Structure formats: C-alpha cells, structure tokens
Structure 1
Amino acid sequence: MRKNKVKLFPITSLMVCILIFLIKSTIVKASSVNNYHQDQVELQAKSAIAIDLNSGQVLYAKNANKKLPVASMSKLITIYLTLDAINNKKLSWNQKVKPTKQIVKISNDPEYSGVPLQMNHAYTIRQLYEATLIQSANGPAMLLGQAISGSQQAFVKKMRKQLASWNIGGGNAAPYSQWIA
C-alpha cells in the first residue's frame, strides 16, 4: 500500500500543478489559505493546494503561504507546449528525434534528474514526454524543446512568451540557461 502512494505522488503532484497552470480565470487569495483539510489527507509534500475549478474553493491546502523554491516549472511548461504542438499538428507522438551531444551529456550527468539518452539513438516524442512528465528528466525535456522550436534558445523564448500570455511573472527567468551554450 505504501509503495503505491509513493509512486502516485509525483504524478498526482504534477497533475495538480498542470491544472493550476490551466486555471486562468479562477483567483484564490493565498493570504486566506494556509492549512485547509491538511489533517484529512496524507500527502508527502512540503506544500500543496487543490482548488475546485468551477467555484475557486480551496479543497486542500498544506503550507500554502510558505515560500518555497519552484521545482520543475520549466518542465511543466515544456509538457504544456509539447501537448500544444501535438494538438496543432507541429509534432506527432510517433515522430522520432535524436539528441545532440550537449543533451546526451546533460542526460547522463548524475547531478541532474534524468533518464539517460544515447547519442545516435532516435526517441519518439511520446518517450520523451513520458520521461519528462514521470521522471522529471532534464535531457528529454531539452530534446522536446528542441523538437518544438528548433533550438534551446528559441524554446526559451517560446516559454517566456507563454508565461507572458498567462500573465505569470518571472518570464525573464532563463529556464535551461545553464545548458545553453
């Protein structure tokens, strides 16, 4: 039973984050929420919030007012833009792409979260999507960005533009900047 909770946690957390990104019209004042129903759910996260999409009512909150560093937000935007590219027929799930030497190096560096990629091996968009979404893998996320925009630099611009369209601050941050030559 415990193993199932541990496996479901990353997926559940990511889905909650994606839903929060997609909720544009619902406004919840964080100052009015802190720990709501925290004692009723065993969620192993430093901070979390679940909001009813229709009413904006907070269903669950744990340390909602606590400031924490943002984790994997560039990967969430990458996932969103990947789905957008597929929906707009710019990419397909079975399309194959090959990583660059730089992406292979990052994906095989144990310092970063990852799924190791191999040089001269072709990966489907679906494989890269799953590795990014489930394993929070950096290399596959970078390769998705390259497949979507042609280069890491162009993809960073696309992410910034998407953030601006959502009126999300921090659009000047440089996701993947440590990897861009």
Structure 2
Amino acid sequence: MSKLRLPALRRLVLVVGLVIAPALAHAFETAARAAYVFDQTTGTVLLSKNAQEPLPPASMSKLMTVYMAFEAITTGRLDIDERLSVSSYAASFGGSSMFLDTTDQVRVEDLLRGVIVTSGNDASVVLAEALSPDGTEAGFARLMTDRARQMGMMNSTFVNASGWPVAGHRMSMEDLGILSHRLITDFPTFYPLFAETEFPFDGRVPSNSSNRNPVLTMGLGADGLKTGHTEEAGYGLVGSAKQGDRRIIWVIAGLDTAEARREESIKIINWAFRQFAQSDVADAGTQIATADVWMGEAPTVGLTVAEDLSLLVPLLGQTEIVANVVYDGPIEAPISAGQQLAELVVNLGELPEKRIPLVADRDVARGGFATRVRTAALVLWDRYGPAATPEGS
C-alpha cells in the first residue's frame, strides 16, 4: 500500500458555549495623554490609549533600574547589604534626591529605598555605575535597553538610569505595564518596598522623605509603584492595586497637574474593580471540544484547558457567550497528552479578544496496519464515492 499523505490542513472553527457574565462595560474616558490598564489576575487589557507610543517617561523609567538591581541581587552580582561609593557625577544630580555626597558609603537596600520611595536621581546613578560593565551610567543605559527588548518591551529606549529629561529616552505605557507585571511576579519579596510611604535616610531633608504616590494611603488597595513628572512628560503614574483576589496595573502619563494624576488614578481603580469581575469558567482538565486525528489509534482527541480558566467580564447580567475553538486539522498522530493543539477564542464586548491554549487530554498513538487500511478506505470513499468499493464496481 502506498504511503498515505496527510490531507491539506484546514483552519477549523468549532462553536462552543460558555456560560459567563458578559455585556458591554461602560467605556472609560481618560484625560491622560496615554494610558494602559491591565487586569493582572486574568491577563486582560481593560484600557489602551496611545499605549504603544514611546513617550518621555520621567522618573517612571527608574522602575527599569530597580528591576535590574533586583535581578543582580537575585543572581548574586550585588548584595543587598553591600555598601557602594558615591561618585562626584552621581552626587551632582539635582531634582529628586537622597542628597548623597562623595563621602557616603551607602547600603544597596538604602539606595533601592531611595529610588523607590523618594525617587532619588543620585541613588539611581550610584546603582547604575555599580552594575555597568564600564562603570558609567551610559553603559548601564545600554544594558537597560537590551534587557527591555528581551522582556518584550519593544518601545523603550534608555539613555540614563533616572529618567532625567534627555532626547531619545522613551518608554511606552504598555511597556511600563509589562515591567510592572514583571516586578510584581518576579520579585515578590522585594515588591513591598513600593508600598513604603516614608524613607528618612540618615535624617537628611525630612521634607523629601515621603513617597509621592498619591493613592497609597487611601484604602483602595494600592501598593505601588512609581510617579513621574517633568515639564515635557507632564504628570504620570505607574500604579498597582489589589482588592480581594484581583490585582490591576495602570499607567497614565501626560496629565497637567499632580491633582489630576491623583483623581485619574482613583477613577481608574474604582472603574476597574466595580465594572468588572472575575468569572471562573472551567477547571484545569475540563474538555472544551474534540479535534479530528489523522492516522491515529483513535479518530479524535479531547481538547482541554491546561490551567483553571477565569475570564474578566463586565458586571451587567447573565447570558451565554459563544466562543470558538480554532485549530489546523486534521491533527496527525502521534499526539502527546498536554500538547497544545488549538486555541479557545473568546470575545467579551469591547474587551480585547482572549485566546486560551487548548491541549490534548491524552496520548494518541499512531495507528497500525488496520488503521492505515481504514484510513485508505475513507480517503477513497471521499474521493470516488461508492465506485471505490467492491459493491460499487
């Protein structure tokens, strides 16, 4: 018998029913020049306004400096109790500052608090010079850009470690959202630093010891991350808040005043938590559909979700949502349990399309001689109809 070739693959779409709570949430109109709101718990983008546009990030870009310092501590390149010298270059920075001088030997932990809580430009440069391959801030900025690309932050280019205004230093709101997500998930032991409201380093300039994040103490669940302001960038904030089992991240930029930044953040928190809720749709291993198998010991394979599936949905009633299972089939055996074979594509009103991987629920071995004979007969039937069989001859 000649070898049977796999038929041309077709993009197959299966309609499945999921009972969840949909409808259109009230659209949020933000006064920010650019904004990005992300439900971290379900991976849902709630708002995107000019979110991929590279903009001056001001001190919000210090989050990348902090991320790289956390990474260096985790890998052993830097010790949290290590004391670093302050160069004359680092000490020369004005603006937000720890008011360091060249006689200081500062613990890494204090420098991190100085960056996170008091937004110290000088502290950012001390960390940058310590981690740079050539001991310069410019060398560290190149590392920042390279690392950002590796993390999927394609609209970020760093020229310095502090966000000091300079041509070419840019980040998008989406990239700041990606970075915030990574800070929260990659460094859970360090993340509580972002919720600290005061850091009176060595008693220097007490008036500069307060965290500028305006929503930390408002009882809204906010626990990070960083403000930013320059004349060019306007007022911005990268924030995160947790209420119940849900966490959101929001990024806003280009507002006219600090008060506008505060009010916009409050509105976003309330909107994100009150207009949407997390709905548990299926437990891990739940079969969503079946897919056709080519040359397998079984003609079909079950498609399941690999992890518990929760979707973020608007809070406007109960109805049935029709979702699509999409795969290229038939799927050639052998197939391994847990192998991704398809996607569940769900649309929820104005929210972005959600695509969830579906995996094989079991192994399907390649069939033996009997399977090949049966498959050949089916191919002939499809091609020639009854004339292909002895009875039709």
Q: Where on the TM-score scale, by shorter chain, does this alignment land: which range?
A: 0.5 to 0.7
- When residues 120 and 160 of structure 1 are mapped into structure 2, their CA distance, relative to the original with a 3 A threshold, is same
Gapped runs of 5+ residues in structure 2? 1-24, 166-393
Q: CA offset at residue 167 of structure 1?
A: 2.7
TM-score by length of 1: 0.61
1:130-141 to 2 correspondence within 5 Å? 130-141=113-124
- For 1:71 and 1:54, the matched residues in 2 are separated by 28
Deviations 1:27-71 (A, max 9, x none): xxxxx99628x9xxxxxx987655332422356x6xx52677423
Q: Is contact 2:137–2:160 with CA below 8 Å preserved after alignment? A: no
Is 1:120 the equivalent of 2:103?
Answer: yes
Is 1:163 the equivalent of 2:148?
Answer: yes
- For 2:26 and 2:124, the matched residues in 1 are separated by 33
Q: Is contact 1:161–1:171 with CA below 8 Å preserved after alignment? A: no
Q: CA offset at residue 163 of structure 1?
A: 1.2
How many residues end up aligned between the 2 structures?
A: 135
Pick from 92, 95, 100: which aligns with 1:105?
A: 92
Question: Structure 2 counterpart of 1:82, which letter?
Answer: A
Is 1:88 the equivalent of 2:75?
Answer: yes
- For 2:49 and 2:157, the matched residues in 1 are separated by 24
- For 1:128 and 1:71, the matched residues in 2 are separated by 19
RMSD over aligned CA atoms reads 3.3
SS at match of 2:79: coil
SS at match of 1:72: helix
Q: Specify the alignment match of 1:151 in structure 2.
A: 136
Deviations 1:92-137 (A, max 9, x none): 111001111111111xx2xx22221021110000010000011111
- For 2:84 and 2:116, the matched residues in 1 are separated by 18
- When residues 70 and 91 of structure 1 are mapped into structure 2, their CA distance, relative to the original with a 3 A threshold, is same
- For 1:33 and 1:86, the matched residues in 2 are separated by 43
TM-score by length of 2: 0.30
Flag the structure with larger Rg.
2
* % identical equivalent positions: 22
Q: CA offset at residue 162 of structure 1?
A: 0.9
- For 1:167 and 1:121, the matched residues in 2 are separated by 37
SS at match of 2:100: coil
Which of structures 1 and 2 has the larger relative contact order (alpha carbons within 8 angstroms, sep 6+)? Answer: 2
